[in-house]
């Protein structure tokens, strides 16, 4: 049986169609499930192997991005989410989904070996520019991160599309702790650096870092490496024809062959989780 | 921690007004009306209102009086909404509040923002408050320096809307003299002319009508207020397009022509499209639905619609533009049995953002209009999850009087639903239940349709302005598309202009009747009178018909999505538009009279070519300086900082983005999307607009707009054999009257534009499948009157066989060979260069030959060949040559590639140097080809005008010569700097 992915939608989530599509291209069976179907018991989260919280503007991002959907999940899906994480099943939050996972407390989550406690430990603030922007960025991954979503990935480019993506931890110690456990999985880098040498703790200038995140953080994982969230949109580079350089003939080729030579660099992230489920269930 | 909200205000004061303020701090406020004890709410502040990591929260106290504000500000401004105005953050807060306090069901939350200013020098607090709010929809309180020092902080109360007074339906006696009839129309904001009032009067004199009405217990001899309002909405210029349907007596003093045109629309738009429909099998639905539908492949069809929202955007740029974009999204949702919106386009016409002249009363500065309109479509589009893939911003002084805000949307739907019904055909039958779905009906949005058919005055009603609510709409879109796929929908349309009166009234034509009960309609506030409920244009509503057997399933789906869906009417076959309020019949109008009873207008049109002082090329000139100046012109300058704030990539389908090239800051000619994930089959979306050509000839203006839309699309790889267009006319009032003494001329401009539209569209085999017109784009009267230049926006959507073979405007590689496809003519009239020279010296003119499309058949053949070279992969670089001519086009291509070029304009046409360098002749595209593809390219282009210009060079210099004469030698980085500076009104990121 193919790994089953629940792609959440409703209340202003709006990347549900493409998120479903990339999981299918990566070899999974994906379903768009309205949040309320999980809350009402119409659908059971335990029937799925992967949960994806896609990008969008849940509840218009009023009162802080991801806040209101995060609250719905924190209060109405608490047990189902805890069981899902405890069962060792992967979760990804992209853009608004990342904001939701941070506001629910699933990211960065408690220390290793602990069940989710739904305590918010970090946050995402307004971009320093004060503007929502859609622009392509270069990302590099921490090779020592426990994150199962990013295994084997070194550097990719994909777009950011957000106004509230500045990752913040309340204290330098808390941030350092995440760094030590390699939970600062993915960061904005200067594309002119050599691959593997881009990661930097010094804040990059706008627009290399589009938002002013602490240590240029673009995404983080929990202590298990199964729950992962990031502001940029890897699904938006599932095919090379979506890369801004494709007419120049210089759009990088992805690692798989879902679209022959036209697979984009972002698809591997979804394939990683699908393969993980196949090997670990 | 940085206060970004405050920083944004500080930067904008600097960028727009040159005011330097040291620091601005912001506070988000929530006013709660509910049953929950305030201590209980206070204990949960960090669970809802404040982020525990990055914000401070407090309850029952003003932050300004806490130790967080230990330094006394110089000034404080608090801005909140006026009662009854849509407050989206408040609505979301209420939703979140109910998650925490589900028992407090009737709680309501209103939001406000407080700004504390430090280091303001001598700013006037009232002026400052004026820049921060729009008093039509918002209220502001101010604390000046003295008040701040005394700790007297502004505190807003919860905005309780005034009680609405329910007015019993009454009848209005029309047995009166003409003067009284006219004043009934004027005083009631009905916008009905005397002839139309006479037609209504006559209806109520009909004995048969009187007998029927008596039988239904409704005033037999006179319309009810409900009926009169309903007729006014349905017969409004906005809904019935009376000018386009009019009988026009047209006289041409140039040619001596004296003729009668029976409906511009039928003659020049509908007939040509219907003729083309006979030749192709892909024109599925044209004109009659909310958008035009074409078959895209065997499984999917696509549709497109563009609308304008000019008058609301003039009053409240933010709310007006937002309702524009979410409104046109609903046109797509209401097409056939429901299409999914997948791409937006935005085209704006504004006054110059750097305008330093005087402003007439009640008009905003163009920079404020730009900011507000941009923010409205940004929020509307982004929050709806629909990418903005194409657009334009045009500037001219006359748009100060009325900004033009065009919003377009492309939709996609399966050609057949799972139950086998073709999705582009509505299938209602008598007995179907009609639901109102989405938002509720409120006092906001009353008289929008009739108001937009009047010119802007000081008394324009604030109730005509609304703010959209994208999230309520997004929930509704999700729900309706599920309902469609489950086969639950038999008919659907948008609630836009005219509200329920139009939406149910139009759908009732299918079954020939309906019966509405206004007492069942859910209201935002109690006390609305029946006529207000019927015509209110409150946003985010669709009208959906459902078979009785499907009602339970439909309502369950609405419940799941938390969308309100209420049965309010039933389709009948009685031939009557029957409206009740409870048991009482309040309107009883024959469907035929409602839709076809409006008398045809009889109008006069007279063409005399306008006299313009001709453009004369200057003697002494530095083309390098001209190029730099032209790139800085608002009409040419980069719009990147604005466009980048639109999500142009959601749905993961955008293959050619609005900005292209190495630094992703070169201009994209058209949007290309591949909407089926994993499939490179594409769709091209483009537009053309050239309003200033109307100063010489509005016909030429129309032809130029169409050619530009096609050219832009060809540049990225359009299949010219499958394209469709949308015509959106925005005109000044073309009806001769005391207020409009030049009405005959303005109508003649409209006639000429329509004739060119037909000629060019027939030649291009380009059917217009949908369109709209907005005909009262004037401000004021007499000497102070401002009329916009007649403006046609032509939008295009068409097939792209494979997005992997697309081209973009950026130069790719040194050595690539540069060609001009097309010819330059001696056509500098109304060019951007001419306008620049006139601004420099008012003795200069802009007259002369305006670009003409003499042989469109030849152009189409050339475009077809060029498209084929792109589809073969021979050409990866192509750019439309328009405003600013060849010089600007090539400069933009260098900027996109951040690379130099060496170009010789000798041999590019018959015109003089000025025409060849700066002229805007139509039909021209600049192309670059790799040397190894040059022979194959030339072979495909054989027989079509294709002239070598030069090549891309491994330098950072653009060099242009005319034979032996050096014209331009400019550093590409400096050109980029010039091009990107003018409209970067962000104030930076510091």
DSSP B266: I
Is the CB of A48 inside 8 Å of chain B's CB atoms? no
- Residue A178 sits in a domain of what CATH number? 3.40.50.880
- The pLDDT-based confidence of B459 (bands split at 50, 70, 90) is very low
The pLDDT of residue B455 is above 70: no
Does B655 reach chain A within 8 Å, measured CB to CB?
Answer: yes
Is B649 at the interface with chain A, CB within 8 A?
yes
**Residue A140: other Cβ atoms inside 10 A:** 24
For residue B450, pLDDT over 80 is answered with no
Report percent pLDDT > 70 for chain B: 98
Give the pLDDT of residue B311: 87
Does B270 fall in a domain? Answer: no
Q: Does residue B526 sit at the A interface (CB-CB below 8 Å)?
A: no
Average pLDDT over residues B738-762: 97
pLDDT in tens, A126-135: 999 999 999 9
DSSP states of B318-351 as a string?
HHHHHHHHHHHHHHHHTSTT--EEEEEEEEEEES
B551 has pLDDT over 60: yes
The helices-and-strands tally (H runs, E runs) of chain B is: 32, 37
**How many domains does chain A contain in total?**
1
Q: Which 8-state DSSP code applies to residue B160?
A: P
Mean pLDDT of the B440-450 span: 72
Smallest Cβ distance to A242: which of B48, B89, B655?
B655
Average pLDDT value for residue range B5-28: 93
pLDDT of residue B451: 57
Which residues have C-beta within 8 Å of that of residue B802, sequence separation ≥ 6?
Answer: B680, B681, B682, B871
* pLDDT bracket for residue B462 (50, 70, 90): low
| CB–CB contact B678 A258 (8 Å) | yes
pLDDT of residue B906 exceeding 60: yes
B143, part of any domain:
yes
Tally of domains within chain B? 1
Label residues B413-449 b or e (16+ Cβ within 10 Å = b): bbbebeeebbbbebebeeebbbbbbbbbbbbbbbbbb
Q: What is the mean pLDDT of residues B394-420?
A: 97
Q: Could you tell me the two tokens for B422?
A: 């073709």
pLDDT score, position B688: 98
- Per DSSP, helices labelled H in A1-62 are 16-25, 35-40
Q: Which residues of A144-167 are buried (b: 16+ CB within 10 A; e: fewer)?
A: ebbbbbbbebebbbbbbbbbbbbb
**A221 catalytic per annotation:** no
Q: What is the mean pLDDT of residues B277-298?
A: 95
The pLDDT of residue B204 is above 70: yes
In the residue annotation, A235 being an active-site residue is answered as yes
Q: What's the pLDDT score for residue B381?
A: 96
CA distance B89 to B111: 7
Q: Which of A68, A134, A244 sits opposite B96 (nearest CB)?
A: A68
Burial of B565 (0-12, 13-18, 19+ CB in 10 A): buried
pLDDT exceeds cutoff 70 at B543: yes
What's the confidence (pLDDT) of residue B458?
A: 43
pLDDT band at B658 (very low <50, low <70, confident <90, very high): very high
The answer to whether the Cα torsion of A105, A111, A112, A114 is positive or negative is negative
Q: What is the pLDDT of residues B564-579, one digit of tens each?
A: 999 999 999 999 999 9
Q: pLDDT value at position B460?
A: 47
| pLDDT tens column, A126-160 | 999 999 999 999 999 999 999 999 999 999 999 99
Whether the pLDDT of residue B181 is over 80: the answer is yes
Q: Of A113-122, B456-465, B764-773, B980-989, where does mean pLDDT reach its minimum?
A: B456-465
Does residue B213 have a pLDDT over 70? Answer: yes
Q: Do A15 and B100 touch (CB under 8 A)?
A: no
- DSSP, res B868: H
Q: Provide the residue range defining the domain that includes A153.
A: 4-280
Q: Do B664 and A244 touch (CB under 8 A)?
A: yes
Boundaries of domain holding B25:
4-149
**Does residue B109 sit within a domain?**
yes
- Integer angstrom CA distances of residue B623 from B335, B389, B829, B845: 51, 34, 19, 19
> pLDDT at position B735, please?
96
Collapsed DSSP state (helix, strand, coil) of residue B284: strand
H-helix segments, B360-442: 366-384
Q: Do B804 and A25 touch (CB under 8 A)?
A: no
Number of other CB atoms surrounding residue B623 within 10 Å: 21
Asked whether residue A186 carries a pLDDT value surpassing 90, the answer given is yes
Least confident of A16-25, B286-295, B938-947, B951-960: B286-295
CB contact (8 A) between residue A239 and residue B89: no
The alpha-carbon gap from A30 to the nearest alpha carbon of chain B, in Å, equals 14
> Tell me: the pLDDT tens digits for A43-82?
999 999 999 999 999 999 999 999 999 999 999 999 999 9
Question: Which pLDDT belongs to residue B448?
Answer: 57
Percent of chain B with pLDDT over 90: 86
């Amino acid at each position: 049986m193919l790994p089953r992915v629940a792609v959440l939608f409703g209340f202003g989530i709006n990347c549900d169609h493409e998120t479903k599509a990339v999981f299918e291209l990566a070899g999974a069976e994906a379903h768009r499930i309205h949040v309320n179907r999980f809350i009402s018991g119409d659908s059971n989260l335990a029937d799925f192997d992967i949960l994806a919280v896609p990008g969008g503007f849940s509840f218009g991002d009023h009162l802080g991005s991801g806040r209101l959907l995060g609250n719905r999940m924190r209060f109405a899906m608490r047990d189902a989410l805890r069981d899902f994480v405890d069962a060792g099943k992967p979760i990804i939050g992209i853009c608004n989904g990342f904001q939701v996972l941070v506001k629910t407390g699933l990211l960065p989550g408690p220390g290793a070996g602990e069940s989710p406690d739904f305590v918010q430990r970090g946050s995402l603030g307004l971009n320093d520019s004060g503007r929502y922007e859609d622009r392509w960025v270069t990302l590099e991954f921490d090779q020592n991160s426990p994150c199962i979503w990013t295994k084997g990935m070194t550097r990719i480019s994909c777009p950011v599309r957000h106004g509230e993506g500045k990752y913040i931890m309340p204290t330098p110690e808390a941030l350092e702790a995440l760094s030590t456990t390699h939970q600062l999985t993915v960061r904005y880098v200067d594309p002119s650096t050599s691959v593997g040498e881009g990661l930097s703790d010094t804040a990059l200038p706008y627009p290399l870092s589009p938002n002013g995140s602490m240590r240029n953080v673009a995404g983080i994982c929990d202590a298990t490496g199964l729950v992962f969230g990031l502001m940029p949109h890897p699904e938006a580079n599932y095919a090379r024809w979506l890369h801004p350089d494709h007419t120049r003939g210089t759009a990088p080729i992805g690692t798989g062959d879902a679209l022959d030579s036209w697979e984009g660099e972002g698809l591997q992230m979804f394939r990683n989780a699908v393969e993980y489920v196949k090997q670990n269930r | 921690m940085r206060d970004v909200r405050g920083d944004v205000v500080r930067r904008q004061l600097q960028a727009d007004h040159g005011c330097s303020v040291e620091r601005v701090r912001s506070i988000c406020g929530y006013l709660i009306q509910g049953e929950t004890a305030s201590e209980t709410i206070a204990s949960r502040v960090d669970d809802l209102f404040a982020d525990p990591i990055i914000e401070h929260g407090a309850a029952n106290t003003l932050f300004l009086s806490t130790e967080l504000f230990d330094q006394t500000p110089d000034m404080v401004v608090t801005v909140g909404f006026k009662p009854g105005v849509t407050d989206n953050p408040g609505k979301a807060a209420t939703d979140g509040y109910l998650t925490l306090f589900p028992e407090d069901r009737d709680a309501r939350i209103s939001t406000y923002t407080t700004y504390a200013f430090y280091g303001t020098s001598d700013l006037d607090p009232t002026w400052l408050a004026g820049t921060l709010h729009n008093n039509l929809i918002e209220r502001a309180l101010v604390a000046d320096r003295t008040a701040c020092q005394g700790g007297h902080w502004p505190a807003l109360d919860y905005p309780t809307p005034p009680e609405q007074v329910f007015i019993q339906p009454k009848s209005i006696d029309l047995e009166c003299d003409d003067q009284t009839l006219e004043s009934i129309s004027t005083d009631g904001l009905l916008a009905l002319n005397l002839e139309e009032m006479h037609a209504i009067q006559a209806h109520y004199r009909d004995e048969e009508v009187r007998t029927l009405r008596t039988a239904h217990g409704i005033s037999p001899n006179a319309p009810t207020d409900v009926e009169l309002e309903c007729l006014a909405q349905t017969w409004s210029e906005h809904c019935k397009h009376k000018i386009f349907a009019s009988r026009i007596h047209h006289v041409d003093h140039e040619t001596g022509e004296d003729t009668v045109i029976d409906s511009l629309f039928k003659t020049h738009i509908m007939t040509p499209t219907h003729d083309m429909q006979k030749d192709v099998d892909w024109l599925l639905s044209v004109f009659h639905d909310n958008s035009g539908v074409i078959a895209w492949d065997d499984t999917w069809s696509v549709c497109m619609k563009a609308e304008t929202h000019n008058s609301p955007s003039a009053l409240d740029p933010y709310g007006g533009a937002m309702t524009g974009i979410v409104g046109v999204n609903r046109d797509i949702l209401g097409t056939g049995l429901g299409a999914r919106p997948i791409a937006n386009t935005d085209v704006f016409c504004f006054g110059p953002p750097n305008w330093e002249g005087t402003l007439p009363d009640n008009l905003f500065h163009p920079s404020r209009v730009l900011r507000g309109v941009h923010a409205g479509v940004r929020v509307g589009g982004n929050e709806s999850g629909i990418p903005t893939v194409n657009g334009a911003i045009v500037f001219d002084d006359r748009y100060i009087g009325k900004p033009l805000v065009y919003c377009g949307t492309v939709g996609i739907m399966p050609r057949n639903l799972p139950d086998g019904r073709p999705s582009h055909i509505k299938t209602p039958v008598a007995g179907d239940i009609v639901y109102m779905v989405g938002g509720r009906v409120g006092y906001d949005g009353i008289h929008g349709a009739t108001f937009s058919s009047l010119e802007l005055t000081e008394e324009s009603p604030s109730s005509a302005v609304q703010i959209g609510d994208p999230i309520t709409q997004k929930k509704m879109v999700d729900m309706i598309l599920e309902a469609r796929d489950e086969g639950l929908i038999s008919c659907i349309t948008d609630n836009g202009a005219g509200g329920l009166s139009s939406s149910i009234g139009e759908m009732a034509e299918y079954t020939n009747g309906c019966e509405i009960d206004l007492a069942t309609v859910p209201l935002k506030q109690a006390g609305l009178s029946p006529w207000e409920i019927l015509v209110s244009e409150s946003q985010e509503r669709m009208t959906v018909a459902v078979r009785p057997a499907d009602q339970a399933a439909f309502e369950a789906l609405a419940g799941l999505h938390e969308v309100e869906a209420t049965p309010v009417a039933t389709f009948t076959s009685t031939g009557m538009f029957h409206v009740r309020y409870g048991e009482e019949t309040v309107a009883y109008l024959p469907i035929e009279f409602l839709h076809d009873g409006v008398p045809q207008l009889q109008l006069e049109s007279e063409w005399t070519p306008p006299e313009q002082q001709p453009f004369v090329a200057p003697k002494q000139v530095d083309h390098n300086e001209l190029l730099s100046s032209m790139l800085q012109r608002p009409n040419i300058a980069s719009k990147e900082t604005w466009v980048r704030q639109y999500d142009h990539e959601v749905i993961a389908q955008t293959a050619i983005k609005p900005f292209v090239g190495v630094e992703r800051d070169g201009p994209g000619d058209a949007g290309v999307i591949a909407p089926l994930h994993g499939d490179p089959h594409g769709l091209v979306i483009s537009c053309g607009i050239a309003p200033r050509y109307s100063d010489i000839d509005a016909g030429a203006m129309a032809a130029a707009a169409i050619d530009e839309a096609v050219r832009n699309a060809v540049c990225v790889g359009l299949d010219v054999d499958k394209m469709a267009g949308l015509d959106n006319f925005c005109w000044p009032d073309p009806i001769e009257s005391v207020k409009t003494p030049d009405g005959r001329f303005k109508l003649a401009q409209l006639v000429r534009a329509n004739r060119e539209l037909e000629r060019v569209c027939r030649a291009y085999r380009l059917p217009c499948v949908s369109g709209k017109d907005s005909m009262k784009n004037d401000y004021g009267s007499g000497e102070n009157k401002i009329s916009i230049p007649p403006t046609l926006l032509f939008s295009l959507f068409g097939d792209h066989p494979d997005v992997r073979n697309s081209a973009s405007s950026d130069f790719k590689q040194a050595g690539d060979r540069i060609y001009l496809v097309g010819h330059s003519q001696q056509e500098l009239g109304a060019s951007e260069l001419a306008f620049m020279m006139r601004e420099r010296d008012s003795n200069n003119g802009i007259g002369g030959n305006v670009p003409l499309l003499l042989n469109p058949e030849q152009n189409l053949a050339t475009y077809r060949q060029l498209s084929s070279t792109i589809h073969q992969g021979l050409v990866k670089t192509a750019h439309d040559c328009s405003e600013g001519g060849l010089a600007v086009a090539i400069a933009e291509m260098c900027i996109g590639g951040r690379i130099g070029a060496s170009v010789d304009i000798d041999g590019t046409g018959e015109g003089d140097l000025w025409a060849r360098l700066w002229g805007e002749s139509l039909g021209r595209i600049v192309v670059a080809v790799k040397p190894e593809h040059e022979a194959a390219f030339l072979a495909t282009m054989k027989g079509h005008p294709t002239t070598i210009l030069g090549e891309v060079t491994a330098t950072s210099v653009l060099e242009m010569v005319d034979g032996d004469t050096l014209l331009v030698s400019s550093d590409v980085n400096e050109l980029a700097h010039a091009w990107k500076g003018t409209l970067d009104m962000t104030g930076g990121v510091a």
